[in-house]
Chain A
Amino acid sequence: MEISTTKQFDLHRRMVRIRLFEEAAGRLAEANRLPGFLHLYVGEEAVASGVCGALNDDDHITSTHRGHGHLVAKGGDFNRMMAELMGKATGYCKGKGGSMHISDTSLGMLGANGIVGAGSPIAVGAAFANRYRGRGQVAVAFFGDGSTNIGAFHEAANMACALHLPIVFACENNEYGEFTPRHKTMAITDIVDRAAGYGMPGVIVDGMDVIAVHEAAVEAVERARPGGGPSLIEAKTYRYYNHHGIQNLGLKYRPDEEVAAWKQRDPIFTFEDRMIENGVATREKVDEIWAELKQDIETAIQFADDSPYPTPDQIMVDVYTKSSTSSTSSTTVGTKS
């Protein structure tokens, strides 16, 4: 598959944006400037970027608890993302969702999700709606290796195949379900083995190689879009930081050599080397991109810092959508709270 220069820069840009956002978020968390949990995507950038680079703006994705990368890759706005992580009123979720529920439905990003495995059934629903409307949109469910052990994944995969829906299951196999290695939680080595059980094709790709991921994604999307049905991509990848946050809470659950070995295959730096080697990019051009995007991050942090927190009167706002037919509202009596 010939990947155009424009597309290569596009994929590179998505990855760098994710890396910069996540590193900045990590630094802010270390400085106790972000409330709540933070699950960083650093190391896995090629997966979200390679897949989202194969999608149209109006295609849908569902995400995971490690969801910033998916939103960035789908075109998420740094300012609103950073503000959300800080719990500010200008954030994507007006400070009501935070890192684990960050979303932009206008970009087709149907939310990070705090429940492991829960995104896949929702992606099936989006895929159903897409076929129902017949506008040729597809849906992608991003999920981790660990979530393939939960019932929701199996139900979603089976239903998608039974209904022959336009969906791609994109597995980020980072070899750890939270702090437990994959081999302790499943008797198979490759997640892709599960695909055959539902009657869909599956492929393993190097999740540290954005081109490999992208090519597999293009093939899967091109299958799904005209009605060829679901398929599964297993991207072998790795997260550099802890399950949440950066530090390992003093407990070693991964050997240092293992982490170091994966970092040797960094998805961004290896891709940059290839681009330069192939004459697609120059070192200066690459540095320029980093510098430009770094500026965007600084702007986002400033924007988030300057933004107000939501006011307490917002607690009861958006619990319900105003009905199209009647003025129903939650009747809270007594203390009227």
Chain B
Amino acid sequence: MSDERKLSYGQAFNEAVSQMMEADPDVFCAGEDIGAFGGVFGTFLGLQAKFGEHRVVDTPISEQAIVGLGVGASVTGLRPIVDLMFMDFICVALDQIVNQAAKLKYMFGGEASLPMTITTAGGGGLSAAAQHSQSLEALLCHIPGLKVVMPSNPYDMKGLMISCIKDNNPPVMIKHKRLLGMSAVVPTEAYEIPLGKGNVLRPGTDVTIVAYARMANEALIAATELAKEGIECEIIDPRTLQPLDTDLIVDSAKKTNRVVVVHEAVRFGGLGGEIASQIQELAFDYLDAPVTRIGAPFSPVPFSPALEQHYIPDAKTILTGVREIMQRNVIRG
């Protein structure tokens, strides 16, 4: 019953990498502890044993050099997967990501391509405190030349990761740490989910919830509750934040007339602002209420579970947000 075979989110990532390495000898992985140890989250488990030390490379703790390795290897023809253990560590490598990987093609007048994938693990909920819990996707989405991918489930993870590896640009694949153990049916064969194509996770008529990564799952929980109250939520998971499937979001907004955008990142300057702005530019006349943004408060991620549980949005926060937006009535002229 291979059709029913289940994989965790982490295993789906691993299988995508493994199948692409089998298919293309130019694909290699490099990062901290990803070899014999399999990565601190186990997402590279078994790959070095399968493909050898020359293709699954343990690197020094040197984030700039890790991304630089990817830049130099990709611009000279390989297809690297370079791993930054925690998303917070992109800040250590930001020059290579922002000033080099994202821009070389453009600065060289198109005479280069960088088919490299940067993989990392983001998100909170593990009491990992302010330097190991961040959601910094907005930072990356602001950089022309990068792609930003944040899967919410194992099926999407595999298909999106394969697309990342095959892409001739540098995507940043952000695994959510709290989703690594999430299990679901994942096809055994290799398949692609195009970057830039969102997904309707749940069809609905009354309100649109735009949510990605772990928040898409929290939105699903909230939607089940809200259905009991007679509110049918349509959940849009953009899956890729850069490029963003604006058409899908705007079409849904036009249908439901109310939109709640949810992310784990701090609200100020987050993707929610961009998404809300796109909606008001393209569907202003359809809206019955201002777009609601749900995100974390403007503080670093706190350590104590007593604080963090109130910091990260969840199904309850989304329930409140949706109930509030449903109560706003706009009288149309």
Contacts and interface: CB of A to CB of B under 8 A. Distances in A.
Max count, chain A CB within 10 A of own CB: residue among B77, B109, B242, B281 = B109
B203 interface: no
Interface of B: 28, 30, 54, 57, 59-60, 62-78, 80, 95-96, 99-100, 104-115, 144-145, 147, 163, 166-169, 192, 194-196, 242-247, 250, 277-278, 281-282
Interface string A120-156: 1111111111101100000100000000000110011
Interface in A89-135: 91-97, 101, 103-106, 110-111, 113-115, 118, 120-130, 132-133
Q: Taking each of A91, A132, A335, which has the highest tally of chain B beta carbons within 10 Å of its own beta carbon? A: A132
Contact of B109 (A92, A120, A325): A92
Contacts of A320: 105, 145, 147, 169
Contacts of A330: 144, 242-243
Contacts of B104: 111
A260 interface: no
16 contacts: A93-B107, A103-B108, A103-B112, A105-B75, A105-B111, A111-B104, A115-B95, A118-B96, A124-B65, A125-B72, A132-B78, A155-B62, A158-B62, A328-B169, A331-B243, A334-B282
Contacts of B96: 118, 121-122, 152
Of B57, B107, B115, which is in contact with the most chain A CB atoms at under 10 Å from its CB?
B107
The 3 closest A-B pairs by CB, nearest first: A125-B72, A121-B68, A94-B109
B76 A110 contact: yes
A62 interface: yes
Contacts of B70: 125
Nearest to B194: A326
Given A105-B112, A124-B68, A128-B78, 20 more contacts: A94-B109, A95-B109, A96-B106, A104-B111, A105-B108, A110-B76, A118-B95, A122-B71, A125-B74, A125-B75, A129-B76, A132-B28, A151-B64, A152-B64, A152-B96, A158-B62, A159-B65, A324-B167, A326-B163, A334-B281
A132 B80 CA distance: 11
A334 B243 CA distance: 14
A326 B169 contact: no
A317 interface: yes
Interface string A153-165: 0011011001100
Most central of B28, B68, B195 by chain A CB within 10 Å: B68
Contacts, number: 201
Given A152-B65, A155-B65, A130 B95 contact: no
- Interface of A: prevailing SS: loop
A82 to B, nearest CB: 15
A333 B278 contact: yes
B94 to A, nearest CB: 11
A333 B282 CA distance: 8
A22 to B, nearest CB: 21
A126 B65 CA distance: 12
B15 to A, nearest CB: 18
Contact of A103 (B59, B111, B194, B250): B111
A292 interface: no
Contact of B73 (A101, A129, A325): A129
